[in-house]
Amino acid sequence: LLIFIYNFLKGEEVVSMADFSNKRVERTVRIIAIIAILVTLYYLYWRIVYTFNPNALFFSWALYGAEVFGAVTTFLFYFSVWKPTTRTAPPPLPDRSVDVFIPTKNESTNVLRKTLLACNDLKYPHRTIVLDDGNRPEVKALCGELHCVYLSREKHANAKAGNINFGLAYSTAEFVAIFDADHVPLPHFIDRIIGYFRDEKVGFVQVPQEFYNIDSFQHRVDRKHKFIWGEQHLFFSLIQPGRDYWNAGYFVGSCAMLRKKALKDIEGIATGSITEDMLTSIRLHAKGWSSVYHNENLAYGIAAETLSPFHIQRQRWGVGNWQVFVRANPFFMRGLSLPQRLCYLSSMIYPLEGVQKIIFYVTPPIALFTGILPMRALDVNYLVHFIPYFAISTFGFNQMARGFGGQIRLEQFSMGKYFTYLKTLVIPFLPKKSKEFKVTPKGEEGSKRVPVTLIMPQAIIFLGSIAAIIWALVQLLLNMRNDSFIVAVNSFWALYNSGLALAIIQFDYKKLFQRRWAFRIPDAVPALYRPMGPDDKHRLLAVADDITEEGLSLIAIGQVPVGGELKIDLLLPTVTLDLDCQVVQERSIMAEDYPVSHLGLRFHEASQDMKNTLSRYLSESAVSKFMREYRIGSKTYVEKRLISERHYNERAYRALAYLPVVISAETGRNAYAVMKDVSKGGILLASRALFQQGSEINMDVILGRQKLPLTGIVMRNFTQENEDYPEYLLGIQIAQSSLEKLSYLLGVADKIGAFILG
Amino acid sequence: MKAVSLNDSRLLWGIMIYGLIAACWNPAHSSAISAEATNIFMGRQVLTGEFCPLCDHYAGSVQIYPVLSALGDKVGGLMGARAIGAVFVLGLAAVLYLTGYVLFSVKHGLLSALLFLFNGTALYLSRTATGDIVAAFLLGLSFLLLVVSEKQQSTSRCGLLLFTGAVSLFFSAVTKYTVALFIVPLVIYVFWKHKFWKALLFFFLPLSIFLSAYVYFAVLPGWNSLMEILFNPYGGEFLPAGELGSRIFRWLGMPYLLAVFGLFHEERKGIAFLFIALSAPLVVFHIISGDVRALDRDVIYSIVFLVPAMALGVDHMGSLFSLYISSTWVKPFFTVAVLIVLWVFGIHEFMWLQTQHPDLTRVMSFLNQRGFDGMTVAIDADKSDADYLYRYSLEKSHPFSRFIQISDDSAKDRERVLRREKPDFVVFDETIDETKTSIRTLPRNLDADFSLVEKFYIPFSVGVQNIKIFRRR
């Protein structure tokens, strides 16, 4: 036990592999889960037998009910993720017909354009069909421009489900792939998953819904350590693979491919619920069709930007769940297996979390204001039971969550959702209009709303908790009460709840006052620039470190004033874009001897073709490149102990700074590259050309008008998986003769890295 | 070494000034308690060469604190004696600041000092003339020296620090025997952190020699009285583990809770665990032995080790409550909020502790006015050393009066003593609470000789002190 505790305390963060195939790890995790379940059951038994406050029975039952609900959902979670699958894509089925559906209603044409461009670039033969429920001429014109099929219906019955069914009636293909209007597929989307349909029983294949706008409301990013936590990562990276094992994976309405025969078997996409996707999954499973969850990011979408669209989305899901619960209750539906019923049950009851959370949020203020406790006493006996239970159940959850949990962040989002979920318990009893399908606003549309009223529930929790703490402390100081330990513990609990509430308020307000709403995709592209005036003919090499169709930001040595005009040659892997830009923002520092500027540039008069080219590059290469650089999970304790591999922390210190480099090899080949990081012994380059391992190369690191020549040997090379936009990562060991210069470069890069990361 | 900024040193001074004010605020808050009076008398005896190692209350212990206490009393009376506690509490706060600073950072050092001064027990001991705080100071100093020794490159400097650490630990243990519980964990700690020969030569051997010599020359001669003190006089104060656990929880629940938060500190959780382990022997000893004596004061030794872990805990709580909020004010806001809660908690605990002994000012004032110099006062009290308390409180006005303790005598002996000594006053001094009712009264045969002249009901933390004063007719 002591060794266990010691190792636990000593644990380090390492990169997650999101691989569930290690039998030792999985077996250990399941044993821990069983222990956690047993401890939880004992704790709940002890609570009900020994701890209820006879003077506050309602309060006692309320808190106990919240704890029981937490235990039930945790057990269902354990069941769902008992044996998550790790699948390998089978070879594609040749010569099948596929229709790609893009249902849309009110999404902007900018958002839709990106999706259609990416759909057109899907490598597998297919037809792209836009199902416009908004009957908008501009969408029709866009489809004409991009050679997609445009369909719209006169009556818009059954919302998205009805729209897709309308498309199904038109479609002649054997399979349909469905994408929401903001979901941009990668070119090999169909090739990677169509092979699963060799099994004639497979009704649909679902892939994760990943979102690239990592500054959204539902993401938390640590840029320095390249870590993203997404509110839906637990679901898509673990719960879905877990349910896949039980043949209970969900169709989630987008990023999926379905066999039309299976859809015909259930008379199309299910109607009667505003979460048509879940109902469709239930019906397909009940009819004996099986499902596949392929856990690989093959499409990227836009996540809810602020609390407002997040609220709309979750309200829709919550209400939809109740509709499914009433109309197609998985417990009574024939044809489902017991595991499928349990998996669906766990999805349906989660809006009750709103009730559970409000109990947890109001318990400390009630105890602080009134001195009444929902248990007999908060004494050593209680803590002796509670602390081990809490520690073991938390440990168990974290192991079963396989590094995708992030419990405190989950708690933060529970705070953001609790009132929304409470509302979903009432909405089914309201007039029909409140139960209608509402599209989640995305992109600019989702950013315009000011959700002041939406943060009221969190503001009330925050202010109520702080007021309760002040009240109780004053009473203690005046000797009007004697329960100092109870006051202190409840104050800590109330402070924790206040922190959760404040995080939601603060993050939402930060988003509201953000200057630029379109997410700029992080990248590292060499760019030649020169001021547009007649005086300066010199072109300087810099690095574009994030890009959108409307602008980019540039790390340049030298200074350019705000308002200045620049001509940029953006050196994309296969094409160079010639762009005229205006500097709209400028920040600068001195990095050793060099003035470094971080420039915010806006394109002007870029042609639509140029924007399309840029959009395709961003969607099909840049997004997946940068998302691969970030990790979305941490290694669990069990993984760290049982899988021996090099720890992340063991790597030498690396300064993260992008600087342009020109490589010249012995063979006479030259190539542009970007230095991505630098350590005291080597550098990592993203190069436009591949250099073989062991080859000696000369590099000029470009620092404005000066060059810093370095010599090194290619130790490792990796090819980024995209044949249309080839890029190679080269690990270079710097030669002894250049180490002094490298040390100087490390100093420069360190300052630039700190400056860029803020 | 880590740099200390001007703001940091100002903060430290601020914390120390707070500690000074808290310790010295209204030093005459109550009459002396018996432990204070005993200490002062013991110190006086040592100063006047009346050292009595075989007396009950000596039992071989080194008289560092009683001497200081007697000197303080000489200078400023009871307030002077109590001021000694304030000095050592501030000294210990500085030691804990340095421990936190050396092990973690200036911030954790400051938090350690602040959390210590916010602690109810520390605050209570800073205003009470008892020796616990001296032992705690020496224990804290010893640990600081051991921690600093780890950072030394030079063997001689490291050896010197280990040796002084051993000396400090020795004096701490012989000031209060309870500290001896921490010797084994600290020896293990030193062997863990240092090369075997260094730990053996500079720490273990000197400590063993000092302790052996002390046991041989001081403890063994007083062995019987020591055993009597340890096992006899408070027979009723041994409790079952469950109940004792609740009592310990009263004083250490919060420190341990905060230290447990320290276990989740992102960078220093391992050290938090170490501190929790080092603090544990006292708890284990009390639970196993069932001994409840001086628990409220003994906990200070555990707190010495827990405070740095608590600092980590509070720092972590600030991070936890403000997690993922990028604004610079949020973490300080939550950290300050936690500190305010702890301050109020500490003040509340302190108020309880300070009133755990009845304030006998009114009783002494009565005897002062109605008594006379040369009078004889017989005292039948719950506490066996209550005579010291009465003697100390009345010695200035009635230096030639006699105070006789009759509490331990049987009813027959008590009557015999009262007839023989012919006291002018008989004082019955006992605590009444939910479990105890008044039992002390005059033998019936003496009813005619004495009349009840005053009754006092003095409420305090654990009940009411019921005092009856009889005067010879």
H or E, element range at B228: helix B223-231
Taking the C-alpha atoms of residue A509 and residue B166, their distance in angstroms, rounded to an integer, is 57
Residues A484, B349: C-beta atoms closer than 8 Å: yes
d(CA A732, CA A691): 10
Contacts of A381 in chain B (CB under 8 A): 242, 246
pTM above 0.95, yes or no: no
Mean pLDDT of B40-46: 85
The residues with which A256 forms a beta bridge, in sequence order, are A178, A206
Residue-wise pLDDT for A291-345, tens only, equals: 999 999 899 998 887 778 888 888 888 888 888 888 788 888 889 999 999 999 8
Distances in Å between the Cα of A73 and the Cα atoms of A76, A244, A583, B251 are 5, 19, 52, 37
Query: Are B325 and A502 in contact (CB < 8 Å)?
Result: yes
Q: Does A3 touch chain B (CB under 8 A)?
A: no
Contacts of range A437-440, beta carbons closer than 8 Å, 24 or more positions apart: A437/A159, A437/A160, A437/A274, A437/A316, A438/A312, A438/A315, A438/A316, A439/A105, A439/A106, A439/A107, A440/A304, A440/A309, A440/A312, A440/A313, A440/A316
Cα separation, B462 vs A296, whole angstroms: 67
Strand extents, DSSP E, A113-246: 127-132, 149-151, 175-178, 184-185, 202-206, 210-211, 219-222, 227-230
- Of A249-253, A559-563, B141-145, B366-370, which gets the smallest average pLDDT? A559-563
Pick from A473, A489, A498: CB nearest B340: A473
The Cα A323–Cα A317 span in angstroms is 10
Phi/psi class of residue A402: alpha, beta or left (left: φ > 0; alpha: ψ in -120 to 50)? Answer: left
**A564-568, B60-64, B461-465: which has the minimum mean pLDDT?**
B60-64
Residues of A in contact with B250 (CB under 8 A): 485
- From chain A, the residues in CB contact with B349 under 8 A are 484
Percent of chain B at pLDDT exceeding 70: 91
Tell me how close the Cα of A636 comes to any Cα of chain B, in angstroms: 15
Which helix or strand (DSSP H or E) is residue A88 part of?
Answer: none
Best residue in B345, B351, B353, B460 for a mutation probing chain A (most A CBs within 10 Å): B345
Which portions of chain A are predicted below pLDDT 70? 1-18, 431-451, 511-518, 532-537, 644-652, 666-668, 720-721, 758
Q: Please say if the pLDDT value at position B237 is more than 80.
A: no
Cα first-last separation, chain A: 42
A5 neighbourhood in chain B, CB within 8 Å: 273
Q: Do A485 and B345 touch (CB under 8 A)?
A: yes
Is the model more confident about B53 or about B402? B402
Q: Which residues fall within 8 angstroms of residue A326, CB to CB, at 6 or more apart?
A: A428
Is A495 within 8 Å of B337 when comparing Cβ atoms?
yes
pLDDT surpasses 60 at B54? no
Q: Do residue A484 and residue B253 have CB atoms under 8 angstroms apart?
A: no
What local confidence, expressed as pLDDT, does residue A10 receive?
41
Closest partner CB to B338 (pick from A381, A492, A503): A492
Nearest by CB to A495, from B321, B327, B344: name it: B321
Least CA distance to A488: which residue of chain B? B341
CA B207, B210, B212 angle in degrees (round to 5)? 105
**What pLDDT score was predicted for residue A14?**
32
pLDDT for residue A12:
34
Q: What is the pLDDT of residue A445?
A: 52
Dig out the tokens for A17 from the structure. Answer: 């592999």
Closest Cβ opposite residue B344 in set A473, A503, A507: A473
> What residues contact A400, with CB distance under 8 A and at least 6 apart?
A29, A32, A33, A36, A77, A78, A81
Is the CB of B325 less than 8 angstroms away from the CB of A476? no
User: How many angstroms separate the CA atoms of B419 and A421, rounded?
Assistant: 83
CB pairs under 8 A between A and B: 95
- Quickly list H helices, A337-379: 338-348, 353-370
**Do A304 and A310 meet the contact criterion of CB atoms below 8 Å apart?**
yes
Give me the pLDDT at residue A338, please: 92
B317 chain-A contacts, CB cut-off 8 A: 492, 495
pLDDT at B63 over 80: no
Is ipTM strictly over 0.95? no
- Taking any CB pair shorter than 8 Å as contact, residues of chain B touching chain A are 242, 245-246, 248-250, 253-254, 257, 260, 263, 269-270, 273, 317, 320-327, 330, 334, 337-338, 340-342, 344-345, 347-349, 351
Task: Determine the Cα–Cα distance for residues A278 and A574; give it in Å rounded to an integer.
Answer: 42
A480 Cβ contact partners less than 8 Å away, ≥ 6 residues apart? none
For residues A611 and A549, the answer to whether their CB atoms sit within 8 Å is yes
CA distance B34 to A592: 70
- Is A380–B349 a contact, with Cβ atoms under 8 angstroms apart? no
pLDDT at A522: 85
